[in-house]
Amino acid sequence: MPPRLLARLERELARGAGLVAILDYDGTLTPIVPSPRAAVLAPSVRTTLLRLAASDRARLAILSGRALADVRARVAIDNVIYGGCHGLEIQGRGLAFRHPRVRAARIVAARRTLAAGAEAIPGSRVEFKGLAVSLHYRRVALSRRRAVRDLATRVLRRVPDLALISGREVFDFVPRVRWSKGEAARWIARRAGRTLRRGRPVVVYAGDDATDEAAFAALKGRALTVRVGDGPSVAEYRVRDVRAMQAVLRRLAVALG
């Protein structure tokens, strides 16, 4: 664990500040696994999240590219703010947001085109998320990855007003509405912080993927940003892996009392 990060967190919390913790799910709370369906919270991680969610000094948010219902079902803890589809939908602890410019018809059209094309690419899988649709290719042979990219390009050409977000062996098609994890994280931090009534809270954002870089950039100077794993990043701090991030969260739970 990075000693600078821990020392700063514990110093801020020792003076009585509240905490807003915004966490990615896959690759941050759970390891990356061969199938997204197999990404299950370990009991020890659930215990730590329960402690954070129960603290009157903390507000916990899980912000994911997964569908809102999916990430909520996987975490299944009350008093948590859940963000799905990269923050296009947010619910929990009295907060509710759904981007007003989302047009479901565009997502449905993209889903049809993706489903038709994915039939010819063994190992690919299309996931409909309501406000987004994803093309997973983690199980596609390297020799067929070009076909996946070609399909993604074809969808963008045929269905207007969509943007492509590239994640870990997944392409997410979302409405082109100038909204990303960056805007969503700032929305959550601002509103969740107001409910703490302890002055300015400490905001922590942790993520592992290229999609989290938008949040790291948007929160620069406003939050302690933590990159989980390797790869280039604009985050202020870095932890080695999911296990190290779990240790940081345990220390936070202890510091909050």
**pLDDT tens profile 126-172:** 999 999 999 999 999 999 999 999 999 999 999 988 999 998 899 99
Residue 198 has pLDDT above 90, yes or no: no
Q: Which two tokens stand for residue 53?
A: 């969610």
Q: Are 27 and 228 a contacting pair, CB within 8 Å?
A: yes
Average pLDDT on 198-225 reads 93
Q: Provide the mean pLDDT of the chain.
A: 93
Distance (Å, rounded) from C-alpha 211 to C-alpha 181?
Answer: 7
Q: How far is CA 14 from the centre of its chain?
A: 28
Q: Which residues contact 113 (CB under 8 A, 6 or more apart)?
A: 154, 155, 158, 159
- Could you give the domains of the chain? 3-99+179-256 (3.40.50.1000), 104-175 (3.30.70.1020)
Average pLDDT on 71-86 reads 97
Instruction: Report pLDDT for 35.
Output: 81
Average pLDDT on 175-182 reads 92
Instruction: Report pLDDT for 207.
Output: 97
Residue 206 has pLDDT above 80, yes or no: yes
**24 is an active site residue:** yes
Instruction: Report pLDDT for 1.
Output: 67
Point out the catalytic residue in the list 24, 172, 209, 212: 24
35-64 pLDDT, tens digit each:
888 899 999 999 999 999 999 999 999 999
